[in-house]
Amino acid sequence: MAYTIGLDIGSTYTKGLILDSDNNIVGRAMKATGARLQEAAAAVVGMTLEAAGLKDSDINYCITTGYGRHMFDERDLQVTDLTATARGCSFLFPDTHTILDIGGQTMKASKIDELKKVQTFRLNDKCASGTGMFLEKTVRYMGYETEDIGNLLDTANEAVPISGVCTVFAESEVINHLSNGVPPEDIMFGASKSLTKRSVQLLKRVKPETEVTVVGGILRWSAMAKAIAEELKLDVNVAEDDLPQYTAALGCSILGHIRLNKIKADGPAPKDKAEQRNAA
C-alpha cells in the first residue's frame, strides 16, 4: 500500500491529509499556522501520521500548497492552491465546474474544465471583508469565540446591515449595533450576509456553471452554505464533516498518487525525495 500526504500551509491554519493508494482518507489533522510556518507544517505532519497510525517512513510522496507551500523543506513537490483545490473538489464532486474557496484571509472563485484544469479565476480585492477572518473578528469583537459562530447564526432572527468594506469599518458598525442593543446573534447574521454577498459577487465574475462546489473553513457552519445557495440562486455542493477545510490538502494527496504512478511508469527522477526517503 502506498501513502501520500498533502499539506495545505495556509495563512491561518495548516492542514494535513493522508490518502492511500485505494483513495481512502486514512488520517487528517490541522492546527493554527502562527508565525512559524515550517514548524506548523512539521507539527501537522506528525499529527496526521498519528491520526493515520503511520510512520514517516510509510509516506511515499509529499506535496504542499497554500501560502507557505515553499516553507516545508521535506516536500517532494509544491502546487498552487487553485490546482490543489480543483483536484480535491473534483474528487469529492466529479461534476464540479465552478469553485468558491473562502479561506481565512483570501477568497477565490474559479472555473475548471473536464480535465480538472483551472480555466479562469478571480481573487477578492477588499482586504479581509470577504473571508473567514471577517467572521472570526466580528465574533471576537462581541466577546465570543470562533466556536460560538454556528450557535449565534442558528439562533438569529434578523440580519442587521454591516456594509463596511474592510474589517476596521465593520468593527465600528458592530460596536454601534451593540451600543444600540442589537442582539449579538443578529449582528453575526448580518456579518454572514455581508460575506455571502461579497462571495457571490466574486463568483459571478467567473460566470459560474453548474455544478458549483464551495469549500473553506466557514462551511463548517451549515447556515453559510444555505445562505450562499440562496444568494446565488443555485444549488451548491458542500462536503460532509470538516472536509471543506481539507479540500486543498486532499487535492495534494491525489496529485501525489498521480506523481507516484508516473514515476512507476517512467522511472524515478534522479533526485526524487520520495525514493530517497524509502531507500533510507
Give the pLDDT confidence of 151-161 residue by residue, as tens digits: 999 999 998 98
Which pLDDT score, from 0 to 100, does residue 127 have? 58
Same domain, 131 and 210: yes
How much is the average pLDDT of 241-260?
96
Same domain, 13 and 129: no
Give the separation between CA 21 and CA 13, rounded to whole angstroms.
Answer: 26
Which pLDDT score, from 0 to 100, does residue 133 have? 81
Same domain, 176 and 269: no
Confidence of residue 274 (pLDDT cuts 50, 70, 90): very low
Same domain, 167 and 210: yes
Give the separation between CA 169 and CA 129, rounded to whole angstroms.
Answer: 10
The terminus-to-terminus CA distance of the chain in angstroms comes to: 18
| Entry pTM | 0.88
Is it the case that residue 9 has pLDDT exceeding 90?
yes
Same domain, 75 and 165: no
Give the pLDDT confidence of 56-106 residue by residue, as tens digits: 999 999 999 999 999 999 999 999 999 999 999 999 999 999 999 988 778
Is it the case that residue 268 has pLDDT exceeding 70?
no
Same domain, 145 and 205: yes
How much is the average pLDDT of 104-118?
91
Same domain, 156 and 251: no
Which pLDDT score, from 0 to 100, does residue 278 have? 43
Range name among 91-95, 204-208, 272-276 with the lowest pLDDT average: 272-276
Same domain, 234 and 251: no
Same domain, 50 and 150: no
Confidence of residue 280 (pLDDT cuts 50, 70, 90): very low
Which pLDDT score, from 0 to 100, does residue 77 have? 97
Give the separation between CA 256 and CA 261, rounded to whole angstroms.
Answer: 9
Q: Is residue 102 part of a domain?
A: yes
Those residues whose C-beta lies under 8 Å from the C-beta of residue 34, and which sit 6 or more positions away, are: 40
Q: Is residue 90 part of a domain?
A: no
Same domain, 185 and 116: yes
Mean pLDDT of the chain: 89
Which pLDDT score, from 0 to 100, does residue 189 have? 92
Q: Is residue 89 part of a domain?
A: no
Instruction: With beta carbons less than 8 A apart as the criterion, state whether 165 and 124 touch.
Output: no
How much is the average pLDDT of 39-68?
97
- Eight-state DSSP code of residue 214: E
Confidence of residue 130 (pLDDT cuts 50, 70, 90): low
Is it the case that residue 182 has pLDDT exceeding 70?
yes
Domain count, the chain: 2
Is it the case that residue 271 has pLDDT exceeding 70?
no
Confidence of residue 168 (pLDDT cuts 50, 70, 90): low
CATH of the domain at 162: 3.30.420.40
Which pLDDT score, from 0 to 100, does residue 4 have? 98
Same domain, 35 and 166: no
Q: Which domain holds residue 22?
A: 3-84+245-279
Q: Is residue 113 part of a domain?
A: yes
Q: Where are the alpha helices (DSSP H) in 149-272?
A: 149-154, 167-179, 184-204, 222-232, 247-266
Same domain, 71 and 142: no
